[in-house]
Each structure stands twice: as structure tokens, then as C-alpha cells.
Amino acid sequence: MIQKIWFTLVWSYMKFGLFFYSKKITVLGKENIPKKGAVLFAVNHPNGLVDPLYVTTTNKRQNHFLVRAASFKNPIVKKILESLYLMPIYRIRDGIQQLANNQEIFKKCHHILKKGETLMIFPEGSHDKKRTIRPLSKGFTRILFGALEKHKDLEITVIPVGITYQHPSHFPAKVTINYGKPITTRTLFEENSLAKSINILKNKVTEQLKIISVHIPDDEKYETILQKLNDAQVDFTKVDSVNEMIKSNSFPSKKPPKKNDLKPLLYLIILNSLFPFLLWKKASKKIDEIEFIDTFRFSLNLFMCSFFYCLQAYIISVYYGNLVGLFYLSVSALLILIYAKLAPTNVRKYRDFTEAGKQI
């Protein structure tokens, strides 16, 4: 019970933070999510640990997550992650001897599904900024069919989830979360051999992910198509229209990026958040993967800005009264909200992620 209360508090705080961090969060297909019963969310993975945050804060089910084991190396971080229903999944790159630990994790997953709860998995196996759906690993099917074999009266619904960002690593973020059509699995499992069931399920999930997120086939034309879409400054979060452009090989004409007339406001926000900004500047130099820029920038600024704004508001209230302190805190939050909701979200080159890292 205490863990559920803790999870709800953190969930609410993260949802609040993402509202300030994002220009627009578009959620599609929420009606596809069963209100009760075992559900496995199969999610594409373009943008580090913010991907599960966007998914779990846009649906009302209490989610358990499988994330890469490397995130659990620090003992303190490990305890925090476990308290929020995150579990490690081990891969060959973590060491062959570590793979045996997955058996215990799989048992926990079977128990979660048996209780009619939800599990979130990223079946591509790793994050990648490329706008393409990569081949799915069979790990998620092993968990699912293992649970069905163990519990004969269990039905598990698979919901593919497509995440598409206008630009991973860019602030303010603009993202579409698209919940696909439910895939029931009991009949599939009972009417086919295990190998065939695995292939059918992987194909079903892959087909949906290619529709509910922007998918550029990863072939020799990938870079050319991506360049045409970038040159046209398309809104990638309008998934259906962009996928139609790709399918028909018909692209809008080249457009210049929109000018950011709110840059002075950004500088004012940075000045008001100077200490968190300096911490972010230092931390950003250690980030060597673009997919982790949003993860670190969002989490660091959410906690540090919240703390320092409250601290600064308290100091002001001591000298000038509670009303002035509250006014300062309200204006500080309002400035961030105005910038996040009104600043342009232009498409930029992925290679220039160090520039993105310089932003607050």
C-alpha cells in the first residue's frame, strides 16, 4: 500500500513536470487500453528513460517496467527504481553470466500478469533515435507465453505503443503517444506451436508500430527521405500524414526553420535558474548518447529547479513577505510554461546534439 502511494505521488510529480517540459503531448488510442486485466505494453524506444515516463503518465494503469540492467548499478538508484516498479533486464552485453538473473525477473513478470496488472517492455532491446521500427527481440514473447503456459486461465492483452518526437533531445519537447489495437494472446498461444506463436506476435506488433509511429524503412533511401522531411520542417508528431508522405514518396517543399522570437525569455529563465543551469551544463558534457539528453535534462531540471525556485521564494518571503514570495514562485513557473508552450520546435540535425545539450 505504501509503495502504491509513493508511486502515485511520483507519477503525479512526473506528469506535472512533463506538462512544463513539453510544448504538446498528443495521446491517441487511449480507448484501446483495457480498464482491467493483464496488459503488456510493447513500446518502441527512441529516447531513453523519458519514453516510459510519457507512456505511464498518459494512461491510468499502474505500470511495471523492464529496463536495461545498467540503470541499476548504483545501489541508491537501484532502490529508488525498484520502489517505482522498475525491474532490470539483462542482455549479453551485460555479461553472459548475468543472463541467468533474467529467470528470476521472468518469474516476477509472470506473477505481475497473473494478478491482472500491467507490464511495459521495449522489445527493440535498446534505444535509438532513428525514425524506424527496428527488429523486435523475442524476449517479450518468452515472458508472455511463459505466463500463459504457467497460468492456464490467464488472458494477456498486448497493446503496441508508438512514441514519436518532433525532435528527441529538444526543449520544449513535442511528442505523440499512440496506443495501438489490442492483441489477445490466449487463442494464439493454444492454436499454434510456440515458435509460430512467437513469429505471429512479433509480426503483429511490428506491423502496428510501423503505423502508429513514424517509420522510415532502414535501407539505402533512409537518409534521403529523412533529409527531405527535415528540409520541409514537417510535424513528425502528425504520424499518419508523415507516414503517408513516406509511403507515397511525396514530400512538401523545403521550408526555413521558424525564428525563435522567445529567445530573450529563455535567457531570462536561465538567469532565474542559474545554479540548476550550471549543473546541467556540467552534467551535459558527460552525456555521450543523444538518446539520454532528454532523460538527464528533464530529471535534473525538474528536481533542481523545483528545489531552487522554492528556496528562492522562501528567501524572498523572509525579506518581503509571503505574498511577494508566492508571486515570485508563480511568475517563475509561468515564464517556463509560456516558453514551453509557445517556442517553436524546429527539426534540427541529430548530429548536433551537443548544441541541444546546452539548452536548459
Provide, rounded to the nearest whole percent, the portion of the chain with pLDDT above 70: 94
Beta bridge partners of 163: 177
State how far the Cα of 290 lies from the Cα of 180, in Å rounded to an integer.
27
State how far the Cα of 183 lies from the Cα of 93, in Å rounded to an integer.
31
- pLDDT value at residue 354: 39
- pLDDT value at residue 92: 64
Q: How many CB atoms lie within 10 A of CB 236?
A: 22
pLDDT tens per residue across span 126-145: 889 999 999 999 889 999 99
Domain ranges of the chain: 2-212, 223-255, 263-357
pLDDT of 3 above 50: yes
- pLDDT value at residue 84: 83
- pLDDT value at residue 44: 96
- pLDDT value at residue 291: 81
Superfamily of segment(s) 2-212: Glycerol-3-phosphate (1)-acyltransferase (3.40.1130.10)
- Coil, strand or helix at 337: helix
pLDDT tens per residue across span 90-104: 776 666 666 777 788
pLDDT tens per residue across span 209-268: 999 999 999 999 999 999 999 999 999 999 999 999 999 999 999 999 989 999 999 999
Per-residue pLDDT band at 348 (split at 50, 70, 90): low
Provide the mean pLDDT of the chain.
90
Q: Is the peptide bond before 172 cis (omega within 30 degrees of 0)?
A: yes
How many degrees, rounded to 5, is the angle at CA 279 between CA 276 and CA 284? 120
- Coil, strand or helix at 244: helix
pLDDT of 16 above 50: yes
- pLDDT value at residue 358: 40
- pLDDT value at residue 194: 95
Beta bridge partners of 162: 178
pLDDT tens per residue across span 31-79: 999 999 999 999 999 998 899 999 999 998 888 988 777 777 778 877 8
- pLDDT value at residue 356: 40
Task: Find the mean pLDDT for residues 204-211.
Answer: 98
pLDDT tens per residue across span 175-196: 999 999 999 999 999 999 999 9
Give the predicted TM-score (pTM) of the model.
0.90
The continuous run of DSSP H or E covering 84 comes out as none
Cβ distance 44 to 124 under 8 Å? Answer: yes
- pLDDT value at residue 349: 54
Alpha helices in the chain, H assignment, sequence order: 2-21, 50-56, 75-83, 102-114, 139-150, 186-191, 194-212, 222-231, 239-248, 263-272, 274-284, 293-320, 322-342, 353-357
